[in-house]
């Protein structure tokens, strides 16, 4: 079994680290939240007093952080850990960050004699808990193959998109499409409800028709259509609106740099920005359903 340092124990990182422990890996954890660390200690992890202490003797260093600036600070900042990570270790960042951030990190870690892959995930909190995530990887094929020792117990798919940064580009494309689908599904369900249709009946009809999609089938945004999804729990848990808005910003930056046309992405980014400003920033991204609530006059 491997020695794993896991840094970042939020909604995603916590259950991911727990699955490593269940697979009998030796896991050292660090997070700014003492409560988050102690929850993993109860599962069998060792809590480190700092990120630098967590990575001592690690075979794998895994980070799961909110944004590019947090990842850059962790590895390359004034108290960055790049200089103390063992040379044997493979560094895996599963945060969703810009492709430029991932490429720069790969280059600078290489200067420290370290190997790196970007490995953002798809599958949400439910996938993190059940160990069924998809890892979308960028980097050397041999390093990604080696990473399967740990990624394989946290996910069911480990896919290589290309060289460093490619994992982030693919993840950003996926999340832009996800946002468009969630907004479109929400709009269609609200249209049906405004015309007297039952949302569950309409969902069942669309699931047997050409409008079938993941947000409708697995993550329905209308309350009480599905059990055990955020929409049926006041939109608590899951993937926050503010994080989706962040990812859409990354998508637009990536599109701008490549000269790609993303009119749907631009519109859905604006929708999520407005939705966050309306007070939904800390709710699940499926709460965009409420944005389309019919306006009564």
Radius of gyration of the chain (CA): 20
Distance CA 35, CA 212 (A): 40
d(CA 120, CA 93) in angstroms, rounded, equals 7
DSSP assignment of 31-92: -S-HHHHHHHHTTT-EE-SSHHHHTTT-SEEEE--SSHHHHHHHHHSTT-STTTS-TT-EEE
- Residue 171 appears among annotated catalytic residues: yes
Please give the Cα distance from 176 to 188 (Å, whole number).
Answer: 18
DSSP letter for 14, please.
H
The single residue of 171, 200, 246, 273 carrying the catalytic annotation is 171
Residue 241 CA to residue 220 CA, distance in Å, equals 15
Do the beta carbons of residue 54 and residue 30 sit within 8 Å?
yes
- 209 φ, ψ (degrees, to nearest 5): -130, -175
Rounded-to-integer distance, Cα 147 and Cα 138, Å:
12
Q: How far apart are CA 84 and CA 81, in angstroms?
A: 5
Q: How far is CA 282 from CA 18, 82, 120, in A?
A: 24, 32, 21
Q: Quote the CA–CA distance of 176 and 157 in Å, as a whole number.
A: 20
Q: How far apart, in whole angstroms, are the C-alpha atoms of residue 279 and residue 287?
A: 11
Q: Which residues are catalytic?
A: 171
């Amino acid at each position: 079994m491997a020695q794993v340092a896991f840094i970042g124990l939020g909604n995603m990182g916590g259950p991911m680290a727990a699955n490593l422990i269940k697979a009998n890996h030796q896991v050292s954890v660090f997070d700014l939240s003492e409560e988050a660390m102690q929850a993993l200690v109860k599962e069998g992890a060792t809590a480190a007093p700092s990120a630098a202490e967590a990575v001592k003797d690690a075979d794998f260093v895994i980070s799961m952080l909110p944004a590019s600036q947090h990842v850059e600070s962790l590895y390359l900042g004034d108290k960055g850990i790049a200089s103390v990570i063992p040379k044997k270790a493979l560094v895996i960042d599963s945060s969703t960050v810009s492709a430029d951030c991932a490429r720069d990190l790969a280059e600078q870690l290489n200067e420290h004699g370290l190997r790196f892959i970007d490995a953002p995930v798809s599958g949400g909190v439910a996938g993190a808990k059940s160990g069924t995530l998809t890892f979308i990887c960028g980097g050397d094929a041999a390093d990604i193959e080696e990473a399967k020792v740990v990624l394989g117990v946290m996910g069911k798919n480990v896919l290589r998109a290309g060289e460093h940064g490619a994992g982030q580009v693919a993840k950003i494309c996926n999340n832009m499409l996800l946002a468009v689908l969630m907004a479109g599904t929400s709009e269609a369900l609200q249209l049906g409800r405004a015309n007297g249709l039952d949302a569950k009946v309409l969902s069942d009809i669309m699931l047997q028709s050409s409008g079938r999609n993941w947000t409708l089938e697995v993550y329905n945004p209308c309350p009480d259509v599905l059990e055990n999804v955020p929409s049926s729990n006041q939109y608590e848990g899951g993937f926050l609106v503010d994080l989706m808005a962040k990812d859409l910003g990354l998508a637009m930056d990536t599109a701008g740099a490549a000269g790609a046309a993303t009119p749907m992405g631009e519109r859905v980014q604006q929708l999520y920005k407005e939705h966050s400003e309306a007070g939904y920033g800390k709710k699940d991204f499926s709460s965009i359903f409420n944005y389309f609530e019919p306006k009564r006059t």
